């Protein structure tokens, strides 16, 4: 990762962790991804933008394997997704062979624009919903 991308990553993730995510998590209709912390074992809720397609939920991680929630998924793929205020259990799968730029064109515009603008290493993630 270049020095510029590393600085961008640190600035954006610090803002998200301290300001953006705590505010967004409180919004009743915000889509949330709940993973299990790989070290703590505690639930970790991350606001995400994505779309349900049948029994799948798709999202794009802006920092790929560096994203904390992707690292948590690698350790334990059992997750929950809150869509329109309702929780759904599922199994998450990073999909490196998927084209994340093409995938963003199928997801909500506002979030997709932010991921494109802020992201440095995009990675598609599919959640197979069990209910």
pTM for the whole thing?
0.79
pLDDT score of 110: 73
74-106 pLDDT tens trace = 999 999 999 999 999 999 999 999 999 999 999
- Looking at every residue in the chain, the average pLDDT score rounds to 85
Higher-scoring residue by pLDDT: 17, 30: 30
Cα–Cα distance between 12 and 20 in angstroms, integer? 10
pLDDT score at 25: 46
Asked if the model's pLDDT at residue 5 lies above 60, the reply is yes
């Amino acid at each position: 990762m270049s020095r510029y991308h590393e600085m961008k990553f640190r600035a954006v993730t610090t803002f998200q962790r301290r300001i953006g995510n705590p505010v967004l998590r409180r919004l009743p209709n915000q889509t949330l991804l709940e993973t299990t912390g790989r070290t703590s074992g505690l639930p970790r809720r991350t606001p995400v933008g994505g779309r349900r397609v049948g029994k799948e939920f798709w999202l794009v991680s802006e920092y790929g394997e560096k994203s904390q929630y992707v690292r948590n998924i690698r350790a334990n793929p059992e997750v929950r997704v809150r869509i329109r205020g309702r929780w759904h259990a599922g199994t998450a799968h990073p999909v490196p062979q998927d084209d994340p730029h093409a995938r963003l064109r199928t997801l909500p515009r506002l979030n997709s624009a932010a991921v494109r603008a802020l992201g440095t290493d995009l990675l598609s993630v599919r959640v197979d919903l069990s209910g």
